[in-house]
A and B are shown apart, each in its own frame.
Chain A
Amino acid sequence: MPLPDLLRHSWSVAAKDLLVEFRSRTAILSVAVFVVLVLVVFNFGRDPTAVSNVDLAPSILWVTFTFAAILALNRAFQLELENQALDGLLLAPIDRSSIYLGKLVANLVFVATIELIGVPLLALFFNVRVLPYLGPLAALIALATVGFVAVGTLFSAMTVRTRFAELLLPVLLLPFMIPPLSWAVLATGRLLAGRPLSEIVGWLNMLAVYDIVFVALALLLFPATVNE
């Protein structure tokens, strides 16, 4: 299928998903509340004399984003099971990869919204300075998010027709999230500690390679995962 058609169909799927979420707002509200709750609990639960904020904040930030993303990814294909809309998508004369790309874009927008809420709250509760490093931090968050959302979107499609989809998704996804998450935590720690950017370039490169490999693999595997 020509690339313009693939992109046009992907955008149709993404725009539809975002419109459905905008109308209901149920998922975004519940995940936003989850993010606030986690950061508040960690804020009151920590001992600032034992571990410094700069050392603690990166782990808490990425744990929060991980579980918020899993909540978001669980609903990505549930939406298509309602009224068997997934069958309609599979019947449409479109490349099935465009369904995956559309879902990926919608999930990225969803998780990015959560991250936009989470980063300022982290700066507020943990008193860490993010403004001087906003550009590199945004690039780091974007690269890490694309990687695990790309894998999560594929697994969401694979598990949605199973009986224990909400349990299976994190079980399958978490092992694949370990590399990008550990690189992201290490790089975020260096950034918040004010270390030179040259120290995180290697992790950014590895995240970029992870993204390219797993987006390409997911595009190849997706059509087979949605066959009944």
Chain B
Amino acid sequence: MLRAEGLKHSFGAVRALDDISFTVQPGQTLAIFGPNGAGKTTLLKVLAGLIQPQCGRAQVDGGRRAIGWIGHQPQLYAQLTVRENLRFWASLYGVSVPAELLSRLGLEEHADRPVRALSRGLVQRVAIARALLHDPTVLLLDEPFTGLDRVAAEALSRLLAQHGAGGRATVLVTHNVEEGTGLATHVAFMRAGRFVHFAPRAGRGPQQVGEEYRNAIA
């Protein structure tokens, strides 16, 4: 479903990706943990096709249509309403905005408000709706819990769990070991552009994963 083979990429003298290879199968969720500058966001951008790697290749079955992306920024237009934003993005994917999506994310009552008038948490919920509206088979998530209140974070966790249960793949990059581990079937630790650990979670809890992570990147 998602394959990375020998990915290498540098920005000047900084090596962002250094021989990264892995696969993610349907139904799997890979959580990647790493400190700032480890190359996590670059890896996601290479997987999405936003950056062409200098070596190696990344392949997502189904191409760009199969990918849903939630990044640091919501990729929304502040002057447009929630509904107008979602309609615009849906038109590019050739779909209509699923009626239940707004209600699942608690956005119905905010649908006709401009995005600039929403709180950070609500904006992130709209970004999640934008990423899911074309029913992607591969989700790429870069710190998706940033700015979310507890209720919204739980709603997102439920959505991601449903996504995985539906036989879809997810790659999740986060600093939050607790929330990331809870969703993951596989865990990777990244440092200086390399995977220093990649394994199935195999029953390990957030505390154990957190401890292993601290030891791995120390």
Q: Is the CB of B79 within 8 A of A23?
A: yes
Chain B nearest CB: distance from A112 CB in Å? 21
Select one of A19, A91, A227 contacting B69, CB under 8 A. Answer: A91
Verify if B50 is at the interface (C-beta below 8 Å from A). Answer: yes
B52: A residues at CB distance < 8 A: 227
Chain A nearest CB: distance from B218 CB in Å? 32
A20: B residues at CB distance < 8 A: 77, 79-80
A29 to B62, alpha carbons, bound, how many Å?
A: 44
Our count of residue pairs bridging A and B at CB distance below 8 angstroms stands at 69
A89: B residues at CB distance < 8 A: 92
B75: A residues at CB distance < 8 A: 83-85, 87-88
Verify if A90 is at the interface (C-beta below 8 Å from B). Answer: yes
Chain B nearest CB: distance from A11 CB in Å? 9
Chain A nearest CB: distance from B126 CB in Å? 10
Chain A nearest CB: distance from B68 CB in Å? 9
Tally B residues with Cβ within 8 Å of A. Answer: 30
Verify if B193 is at the interface (C-beta below 8 Å from A). Answer: no
Assuming the contacts A12-B91, A91-B48, asked whether A84 and B77 have C-beta atoms less than 8 A apart, the reply is no
Interface string of B33-59 (1 = CB under 8 A from A): 000000000000100111110000000
Q: Is the CB of A16 within 8 A of B130?
A: no
Q: Is the CB of A90 within 8 A of B50?
A: yes
Chain B nearest CB: distance from A90 CB in Å? 6
Chain A: interface residue count, which band? 20 to 34
Residue of B nearest to A226 (CB): B50
Residue of A nearest to B77 (CB): A20
Q: Is the CB of B48 within 8 A of A84?
A: no
A-B residue pairs, 9 tightest by C-beta = A88-B75, A84-B73, A93-B65, A92-B92, A23-B79, A12-B91, A93-B64, A83-B73, A16-B88
A-binding residues in B (CB < 8 A): 45, 48-52, 63-65, 67, 69, 71-80, 84, 88-89, 91-94, 114, 130
Known: A91-B69, A228-B50. 7 other contacts (CB 8 A): A20-B80, A82-B78, A91-B50, A92-B89, A93-B92, A93-B93, A228-B51
B-binding residues in A (CB < 8 A): 5, 8-9, 12, 16, 19-20, 23-24, 79, 82-85, 87-94, 227-228
Name 12 A/B residue pairs within 8 A (Cβ), A-sorted. A16-B77, A24-B79, A83-B73, A85-B75, A87-B69, A87-B73, A87-B75, A89-B92, A90-B49, A91-B48, A92-B64, A93-B65
